[in-house]
Amino acid sequence: MFYLEALLVLRHLQRPGVVQNMTVSEWTERIHYKYTWENNPLDLTVVAVAEHKTATHQVATFALTAEEEQWFKVYFEKIRPTLLNRKSPKDIFFISSTGRKIYNASNDLRRLHRRFKIPNVSSQLARRICETWTVAQYSDSERYLFAKYLAHTSATADRCYREKTLGDICHASILVSQIGASKDVENQPSSSRILASTSSGATSTELQQPANRKHEEDAQSKNPREEAFRKFTEMYPLDLDSLGPAPKTAKTVSKVHGQYFSDKWRKTQNNMRADYIVGHFKKRKPSNEEVKRLIESKGWKQNLPKVNKIMEKLWHSSKT
């Protein structure tokens, strides 16, 4: 059981709350999905967890390989039943040796590391290092899929099982699995900082300038309004598909800065979406109609990036 917890937290980079609150129903309602990656057919299993400690209004999703799913099945069918007693919660997937709900998945990871005499790696450390690695290795669109896999989505569990979304989840899971060591990993900025930088309309070239970004981060950390906005995005995480908080909702968080929060959130998401579209046309310049069709295929209903803005970004990227 500790190994499966570590698999979700350290390999799939899920928050400990996902482990603690994953239900039997969510496991039995998992979706088997055939995904093709570089002409190779893969059998993946997508699980959506609707409640976790960090933000109950979000849905966490992850995609297990066929081998990983088999490990989970063995635990669920062979081991978990031996742990149940009269006081056990009926719909919680992970059950402790005392038959209770997992109290603290982070403690379980520490116990696992201590048992095998290996350095303890926390959820926060794993996520930070992996985010950092993606900066130099992945395209803008891949980084956003990766960030979405980590940040979770405000979509409902039903939406997570739609065809397009299933494909994105599987793609992101593969990106996570490909993360490897990098000599300069500690000296590179994290992808979460990239999301913050896009709010100022930075181009892809500017995002790769560590000195400029460090200067901007230092300035933001000394700005109370920017620090408040950062906390606001923890409540309403930025991702490609979320509708985002309404201005009225933002003002309930802060009467003084609510409108600013709402405007900046939408501007940042718009830039994210534009960069995502740009990432699909790295090798050739598309027509306006091709860009328009790709935007429409994403199913976004509002806050759509403008075609001319995307064409401008493509032109700048071709010059660098």
pLDDT digit string (tens) for 182-220?
444 444 444 444 333 333 333 333 334 444 444 454 555
Q: Given a cut of 70, is residue 78 above it in pLDDT?
A: yes
- CA-to-CA distance for 191 and 117, rounded, in angstroms? 31
SS3 for 76-129, per residue? Answer: HHHHHHHHCCCCCCCCECCECCCCCECCCHHHHHHHHHHHCCCCCCCHHHHHHH
What confidence category does residue 159 fall into, taking pLDDT thresholds of 50, 70 and 90? low
Amino acid identity at 39: N
CA distances from residue 91 to 47, 95, 104, 180 in whole angstroms, order as listed: 15, 10, 18, 36
- Best CA proximity match to 9, nearest among 144, 149, 18: 18
The string of DSSP codes covering 206-244 is HHT-HHHHHHHHHHHHT-HHHHHHHHHHHHS---SS---
pLDDT digit string (tens) for 224-277?
888 888 888 877 777 787 777 888 888 888 888 889 988 998 998 888 888 888
- CA-to-CA distance for 122 and 164, rounded, in angstroms? 32
Q: Which residue has the tokens 């520490």?
A: 110
* This prediction's pTM: 0.56
Q: What SS3 state is found at 154?
A: coil
Q: Which residue has the tokens 């709010």?
A: 199
